Amino acid sequence: MLYEHGQNLGTVGKFTGRYQCNLLMYFEVYPDAVQAIAREKEIKGWSRAKKKP
């Protein structure tokens, strides 16, 4: 998936294609989708100030 992101091979109708997002800022690796989705929801719940490096 990281390769596809870097090569702009995503679906145009999706968020990254629609808004020309092509710079990956951060990623984490999890052994399964359930843990990854839980972490994504946790991060999305944070304030913008907490997300800034």
Q: How many helices (H) and strands (E) does the chain have?
A: 4, 0
Q: Are 28 and 22 in contact (CB under 8 A)?
A: no
Cα–Cα distance, 12 to 53 (Å, whole number)? 29
pTM of the model: 0.59
Number of neighbours of residue 17 by Cβ within 10 angstroms: 14
Residue type, 34: V
Cα–Cα distance, 25 to 5 (Å, whole number)? 12
Q: 4-52: per-residue pLDDT in tens?
A: 666 666 666 677 667 777 677 888 999 999 999 999 999 999 999 998 8
Whole-number pLDDT of residue 25: 80
